[in-house]
């Protein structure tokens, strides 16, 4: 008695390529001891483990098609049943459609609040950042700014991503905004929807994101929708 149950920090991350979403998701998850759940990872895992949904996903991907909402929702729902998500989680790459977002609300119905973080960065800044983005020429990992010339994983030489030409980048951003707009509209009226200014030093983004998520996690249930 009297022991306060810590609130769960259930987070969905949104943000265009170049916004620093991956880094911030990683940091937040690590600081709070939460699993960072990226759809790419759990999809690969489901396929690797040969779960029924994983097998369906594999057949779809082998045929060069996109995994359906239904299968994606099933795989995420299975992942969110694991014990390590009790204190919360950071979801990256899901939901991608309104159907997925609606299903996530159902999954979250009896759990803590779902905080949606949208990292916002002006397009010119994204273009500049993406043009400067480098990867390792040997192992292909994305290079954080701290790596000056060599890969911190394998020592390989860092190179600019060849697909990051200005036109390609512009197109990627256009696709992102087209696909994400309905999701942002789906969430934007909620008190648990938080837009974060991503055009700041990464540490400042981390701090404001942390404060926003904590505040939003305290929104009472009846005020959430």
Per-position x/- string for 78-107, each x denoting binding to Zn ion as judged by CB under 5 A, each - no binding: ------------------------------
**Residue 22 found at the interface with Zn ion (CB under 5 A):** no
**Can you tell me which of 98, 139, 204, 223 binds Zn ion, judged by CB under 5 A?**
139
Query: Catalytic: 134?
Result: no
By the 8 A CB rule, do 102 and 145 touch? Answer: no
Phi, psi dihedrals of residue 13, rounded to the nearest 5°: -105, 130
Which residue in 44, 58, 133, 190 is the catalytic one? 133
Dihedral of the alpha carbons of 97, 98, 101, 103, in degrees to the nearest 10: -110
In whole angstroms, the minimum distance from the beta carbon of 149 to Zn ion comes to 12
Nearer to Zn ion, 53 or 151 (CB): 151
- As separate numbers, helices (DSSP H) first and strands (DSSP E) second, the chain gives 8, 7
Which residue in 44, 58, 96, 111 is the catalytic one? 96
Going by C-alpha positions, the residue among 71, 79, 68 that lies closest to residue 10 is 79
H-type helices in the chain, by residue range?
Answer: 21-32, 39-49, 52-62, 69-79, 98-108, 123-132, 166-187, 202-217
**Can you tell me which of 38, 60, 138, 199 binds Zn ion, judged by CB under 5 A?**
138
Output the CA–CA distances (angstroms, integers) from residue 106 to 4, 54, 122, 180, 185, in the order listed.
26, 22, 33, 20, 18
Which residue in 58, 170, 172, 190 is the catalytic one? 172
In whole angstroms, the minimum distance from the beta carbon of 3 to Zn ion comes to 46
Query: Catalytic: 178?
Result: no
The site that binds Zn ion (CB under 5 A) totals a number of residues, namely 7
Q: Scan for tokens 């036109």, then name that residue.
A: 167
Output the CA–CA distances (angstroms, integers) from residue 47 to 50, 57, 58, 64, 165, in the order listed.
5, 7, 6, 15, 33
Q: How far apart, in Å, do the first and last CA atoms of the chain sit? A: 31
Query: Catalytic: 224?
Result: no
In whole angstroms, the minimum distance from the beta carbon of 157 to Zn ion comes to 9
Query: Catalytic: 133?
Result: yes
Instruction: Point out which span in 10-18, 41-49, 51-59, 130-138 binds Zn ion (CB under 5 A).
Output: 130-138
In whole angstroms, the minimum distance from the beta carbon of 82 to Zn ion comes to 31
Nearer to Zn ion, 116 or 151 (CB): 151
143-172 residues in contact with Zn ion (CB under 5 A) are 151, 153-154, 156
Catalytic residues: 21, 96, 133, 161, 172
Q: Which residues bind Zn ion (CB under 5 A)?
A: 136, 138-139, 151, 153-154, 156
């Amino acid at each position: 008695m009297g022991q306060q149950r810590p609130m769960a920090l259930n987070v969905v991350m949104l943000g265009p390529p170049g916004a620093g979403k991956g880094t911030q998701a990683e940091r937040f998850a690590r600081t709070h001891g939460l699993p960072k759940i990226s759809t790419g990872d759990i999809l690969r895992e489901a396929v690797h483990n040969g779960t029924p949904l994983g097998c369906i996903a594999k057949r779809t991907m082998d045929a060069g098609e996109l995994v359906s909402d239904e299968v994606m929702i099933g795989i995420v729902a299975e992942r969110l049943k694991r014990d390590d998500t009790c204190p919360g989680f950071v979801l990256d790459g899901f939901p991608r459609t309104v159907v997925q977002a609606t299903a996530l609300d159902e999954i979250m119905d009896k759990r803590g609040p779902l905080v949606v973080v949208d990292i916002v960065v002006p397009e010119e800044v994204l273009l500049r950042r993406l043009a400067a983005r480098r990867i390792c020429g040997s192992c292909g990992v994305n290079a954080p700014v701290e790596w000056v010339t060599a890969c911190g994983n394998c020592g390989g030489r860092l190179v600019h991503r060849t697909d990051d030409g200005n036109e390609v980048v512009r197109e990627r951003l256009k696709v992102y905004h087209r696909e994400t707009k309905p999701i942002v509209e789906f969430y934007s009226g909620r008190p648990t929807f938080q837009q974060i200014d991503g055009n700041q030093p990464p540490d400042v983004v981390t701090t404001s994101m942390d404060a926003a998520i904590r505040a939003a996690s305290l929104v009472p249930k009846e005020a959430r929708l």
